[in-house]
Amino acid sequence: MTVDVVQRLREKGLRVTRQRKVIYSLLREIGGHHSVDEILGLLVERREDIHRQSVYNVVGDLQQVGLVMCADAGPGRALYEASDHWHHHFVCRVCQIVLDVPCIEGRKPCLEPPENVASVIDEAQVIFRGVCHGCAGAKVTDTPAASISTADC
C-alpha cells in the first residue's frame, strides 16, 4: 500500500513528503468523507505530529492533482475523500450522512452553466439534499430542503 501511495503521488507530479504519504494513505484506508478536523483527530490518535494548517495544505495539494475530492456537505462542512473518480454527493438533512452519487458523464465539468458567466468552468459539483432511505423509513416531518450548491473548497 505504501509503495502504491508513493507511486500515485509521483505519477501526479507531487513531491513525496511524509505528510502527503500519511494523509493520503489514511484517507484511502478509512474510505468515506471526512472533515479536516476528523482527519487531524485520526492522525493525532496515530501519534502523527502534524498541524491543522498542514492537513489543509496537504488535502488541498491532493485535491489539486485529482487524488482527493472535496464534497461540500453543508455550511462549513468541507469533506475530503480519496477518490480519483469524479462524482457528486447526496446529503441527508436528517442524519447528515453523505453518500456518493455517480456522475453520468464521469468527467469535469459535467454541467455547463446556462449563461456565459465565466471563461473557464473547471467543475460543477451537484449536492443532492433530501432524506436518505434509512431516515425516510423512520418517520420524518417533510419540509422541502432540496437545493443545489457549488463546492466551496
Give the residues lining the site for Zn ion (CB under 5 A): 81, 92, 94-95, 97, 100, 132, 135
Q: Least Å distance between CB 112 and Zn ion?
A: 22
Nearer to Zn ion, 31 or 51 (CB): 31
CB nearer to Zn ion: give 16 or 66. Answer: 66
Q: Which is nearer to Zn ion, 50 or 77 (CB)?
A: 77
Grid cell in block for residue 91: 446529503
Amino acid identity, position 139? K
3-state secondary structure of 87: strand
Taking CA atoms, 86 is separated from 79, 82, 123, in Å, by 14, 11, 9
CA distance 24 to 22: 6
CB of 111 to Zn ion, least distance (A): 17
Binding-site residues for Zn(2+), in ranges, read 92, 95, 132, 135
User: How far is it, in rounded angstroms, from Cα 68 to Cα 96?
Assistant: 21
Least distance (Å) between residue 88 CB and Zn ion: 8
